[in-house]
Amino acid sequence: MFIIALLAGGMLYFSRWYAKHNKVNTETTKIRVLGQHFLGPRKSLAIVRVAGETILIGVTDQNISMLKSLSLIDDEFPESVPNSFAKTLSATEEDADDFVISSIKDKVSAKIKNMRNI
């Protein structure tokens, strides 16, 4: 009985150690979702930064399509986008964050309207 308890404790310790040491480093991730606008059920537009390039993609439940490369507006987006919801909640200046997010949304909306005119 002691040996079984020892094995169970060892497995529990190893599983916690493994989970702690095998997390993906999100700071070095090369793909980031900068914004997403839902058009309907399971349909959305997303602005994604991949390896320094900003791309507008269309996402459905069966397909992901690149719609346009947005290289002209790369300078308008902030370099750092929160990686997790917890980081966003811990921000003390909520008004400043809301202003930044609303300004990004306004800029993206304006760019999308300009693309429709082309």
| Mean predicted confidence (pLDDT) in 80-107 | 63
* Residue 86 reports pLDDT greater than 60: yes
The tokens describing 90, both together, are 């811990």
Which three-class secondary structure state does DSSP give residue 2? helix
The β-bridge partners of 50 are: 31, 53
Per residue in 105-116, pLDDT (tens digit) is 778 888 887 776
Q: Specify the pLDDT at position 58.
A: 92
Higher pLDDT, 87 or 60: 60
Tell me how far CA of residue 2 lies from CA of 26, 36, 63, 90, in angstroms. 41, 54, 54, 45
The tokens describing 82, both together, are 């929160």
The residue extents of the domains of the chain are 26-117
Q: Specify the pLDDT at position 54.
A: 86
Per residue in 6-65, pLDDT (tens digit) is 888 999 888 888 877 776 655 566 788 888 888 888 899 998 888 778 889 999 999 999
Q: Specify the pLDDT at position 24.
A: 60
Query: Please, which pLDDT band fits residue 90 given cuts at 50, 70 and 90?
Result: low
Q: Specify the pLDDT at position 91.
A: 61
* Residue 100 reports pLDDT greater than 60: yes
